[in-house]
Amino acid sequence: MLDLVQSILDGVLFGATYALIGIGFTLVFGVMHKLNLAYAAASVGGAYCGLLVMGLVHGAAPPWAVFLGAFLAGGVIGYLVYLTCFHFIPLTSPLATLMATVGMLLLIDEIIVHVTDGMPRNYPAVFDDVMLQAGEITLRGDLLLVFAVSVVCMAGLLVLLYRTRLGLATRAVSQQPVAAELCGIRVTRVNAATFVITGLLGGIAGALIGASVGTLSPLLTTPLTVKGLIVTVIGGLGSIPGAIVAGLLVGGFENLFQMYRGVTERDLYVMLLLFVFLVFRPGGIFTHGAKRD
């Protein structure tokens, strides 16, 4: 029983990173009604750029500087993805945009492999020697930090979306792009801003994943893409609270099945969870079963 609670808790804490990735997918979908398949790769790429900070000062950089580097680099990569995959491709060919983001995913992956010679890199861990005891249950310090930073990022995003002019414009474009444009909102600029914001979040998510796993490798991109997409669908496309809850849910669920069924079968059960949601809740966690798209 204790093992059960412990593994679910670890999973939920780590699930915060899935929630961040899921938010990235869902925000771009909400605003542009398009899928950015390069997002998880861009996040991992941002995390790698964070390591460059380490290289600049010959390995003496404090972990927060690495995180900051990842955060900023994520934003830059997000803008580049927007420019290469969305800006110049006409809105009438959604398949071309989808394929371009796949190309971008491969490109980012290969750049990482090329620069690092395909070797996994160590990532600076924070608080990995701290263990909090709550009764019989142990809380890993690094996972708690992952969770805390994710919560701060989500809170920041919600403030940005609901308390600023940019957020208002973003929500307007996501509801009615044509009407928003008629009101004088520059849709392309809002779209670009969305990519920068999701990129910033992705950079942090990548750095957090690197810090809690301990190493960073380009092999992370595919599972992260899949998990992020699953989180997006379970949470409901375009729903940020849904993505947060779904991320934590998938994290806990995955760790539970890792304990009971082993690491090779773990993801199979996550897929089954997705299908359960698709059958009974196709609109996501927070909508009623009847609404479908």
Partner 1 sequence: MDFYYGLAQIIGVHTLLGLSAYIVLLTGQVSLAQAGFQAIGAYTAAMLTVLAGWALVPALAMSALVGALVACAVGFPALRVRGLILVVATLAFGEGVRLFFFNFDYQVARGGVRVGPLGGEGFRQIRYFPEHGWTTLEVMLFIWAIVVAVMAALWWFDRSRYGAVLRAVGEDELAAQSVGINLTAIKVSAMTVGGAIAGVAGGLFAHYTTHIEHTNFNILVATFALAYPIVGGLASVFGTLAAVVFVQGFLIEGLRFLGDWRNLLFGALIVLSMNLRPHGLLDAPTLARLKRLVGR
Q: 132: which strand partners?
A: 139
- Nearest Cα to Cα of residue 47 among 120, 114, 100: 120
Pairing assessment for the beta strands 121-122 and 215-216 based on DSSP bridges: antiparallel
Choice from 57, 96, 132, 159 touching partner 1 (CB under 8 A)? 96
Among positions 187, 226, 259, 285, the unique one binding partner 1 when judged by CB under 8 A:
226
Residues 253-282 vs partner 1: string with x where CB under 8 A?
-----------xx-xx--xx-xx--xx--x
Q: Establish if 35 lies at the interface with partner 1 (CB under 8 A).
A: yes
55 binds partner 1 (CB under 8 A): no
Give Cα separations from 263 to 9, 38, 95, 246, 256 (angstroms): 17, 26, 34, 21, 10
Alpha helices in the chain (DSSP H): 2-32, 39-56, 63-82, 94-116, 141-163, 165-175, 177-182, 187-213, 221-235, 240-261, 263-280
Binding segment (CB under 8 A) for partner 1, from list 3-11, 49-57, 155-163, 224-232: 224-232
CB of 283 to partner 1, least distance (A): 9
Segment near partner 1 (CB under 8 A); pick from 68-76, 156-164, 223-231, 241-249: 223-231
Question: In the 8-state DSSP scheme, what is residue 238?
Answer: T
Tell me, residue by residue from 75 to 94, as one string, x for binding to partner 1 by CB under 8 A and - for no binding: ---------xx--xxx--x-
**CA nearest 72: which of 195, 203, 194, 160?**
203
Find where tokens 């701290």 sit: 130
The residues binding partner 1 (CB under 8 A) are: 29, 35, 37, 84-85, 88-90, 93, 95-100, 102-111, 113-114, 222, 225-226, 229-230, 232-233, 237, 264-265, 267-268, 271-272, 274-275, 278-279, 282, 292-293
